[in-house]
């Protein structure tokens, strides 16, 4: 693979530059081969830096214009600014096309939001703790406060993530996610192969939260890629017992 282009990224139907990075197309050696974008997983920092530059170039920005945050599985939302890198949070918002927003994932659910009327965008990282904290709805509210975005005008894409049939969790996780009244009980079901364990549909839970936040159901699209199953295309923290790379889900406001 030569230079990356947006066509190399899995993307949804949103009419804005966005996507989920491929596993191939980078310079990292095994077990991070090859487009690992995570700097805290044991990979060579020089390789990670080159991989990140390739992603930035694919979307027409310099690496210095990629907005990132230190993800902590919470619900804090930050606006993309020169000082945002290093702040703790799990969602980024912007209406400035000079910024490429990026969230990292390797099983957790990335969510891209786009205001079809005003042009603002958001990139959200939602693991089960983020679902329990309501991070997707927090991003919707932040878009409204900062840019006047009406939830009825928002469009969402739920990117590749570990799917419910592959995501075994304990009852305490199910209880935490179901504590949000917007989340239906059907997002979790007993695991028939393991007594006392459950399977959890994180994309289904986030979809319900976005609908409760005001997004029309038809405005929410979702990838059917399971990061746990697609070993040739996806890193998976659970499948690879933590010895793996990270993807970026990215979006850039129109301009």
The full set of domains in the chain, from first to last, is: 6-161+220-252 (3.60.140.10)
Is residue 177 within 8 Å of 183, Cβ to Cβ?
yes
Gap between the Cα atoms of 220 and 212, Å rounded:
12
H and E: helices and strands count for the chain: 5, 13
Task: Give the CA radius of gyration of the chain.
Answer: 17
User: What DSSP element (H or E) covers 92?
Assistant: strand 91-94
Is residue 22 within 8 Å of 35, Cβ to Cβ?
yes
pLDDT tens column, 114-126: 999 999 999 999 9
| Maximum pairwise Cα distance, the chain | 53
CB < 8 Å & 24+ apart, contacts of 174-177: 174/198, 174/200, 176/128, 176/129, 176/132, 177/128, 177/131, 177/132, 177/205
pLDDT of residue 56: 98
* DSSP 8-state code for residue 193: T
Gap between the Cα atoms of 118 and 140, Å rounded:
13
Is residue 63 within 8 Å of 45, Cβ to Cβ?
no
Sign of CA dihedral 127, 232, 224, 52: positive
CB atoms within 10 A of CB 83: 7
pLDDT tens column, 138-185: 999 999 999 999 999 999 999 999 999 999 999 999 999 999 999 999
Strands 100-105 and 247-252: antiparallel
Q: Rounded to 5 degrees, what angle do the CA atoms 43, 105, 229 make?
A: 95
Gap between the Cα atoms of 189 and 107, Å rounded:
19
pLDDT of residue 251: 98
pLDDT of residue 1: 53
pLDDT of residue 177: 98
Is residue 219 within 8 Å of 155, Cβ to Cβ?
yes
Q: Which regions in the chain score pLDDT beneath 50?
A: none
């Amino acid at each position: 693979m030569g230079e990356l282009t947006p066509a190399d990224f899995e993307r949804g139907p949103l009419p804005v530059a966005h996507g989920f990075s491929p596993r191939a197309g980078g310079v990292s050696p095994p077990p991070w081969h090859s487009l690992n974008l995570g700097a805290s997983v044991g990979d060579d920092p020089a390789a990670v830096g080159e991989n990140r530059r390739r992603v930035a170039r694919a979307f027409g920005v310099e690496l210095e214009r990629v907005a990132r945050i230190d993800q902590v599985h919470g619900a804090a939302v930050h606006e993309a600014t020169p000082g945002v890198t290093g702040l703790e949070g799990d969602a980024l918002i912007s209406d400035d096309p000079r910024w490429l927003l990026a969230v990292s994932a390797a099983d957790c659910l990335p969510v891209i939001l786009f205001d079809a009327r005003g042009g603002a965008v958001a990139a959200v990282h939602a693991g089960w703790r983020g679902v329990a904290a309501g991070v997707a709805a927090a991003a919707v509210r932040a878009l409204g406060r900062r840019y006047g975005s009406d939830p009825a005008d928002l469009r969402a894409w739920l990117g590749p993530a570990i799917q419910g049939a592959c995501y075994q969790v304990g009852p305490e996780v199910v209880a935490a996610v179901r504590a949000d009244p917007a989340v239906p009980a059907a997002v979790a079901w007993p695991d028939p192969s393991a007594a006392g364990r459950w399977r959890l549909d994180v994309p289904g839970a986030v979809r319900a939260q976005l609908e409760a936040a005001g997004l029309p159901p038809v405005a929410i699209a979702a990838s059917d890629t399971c990061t746990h199953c697609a070993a040739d295309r996806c890193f998976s923290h659970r499948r690879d017992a933590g010895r793996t790379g990270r993807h970026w889900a990215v979006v850039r406001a129109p301009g």
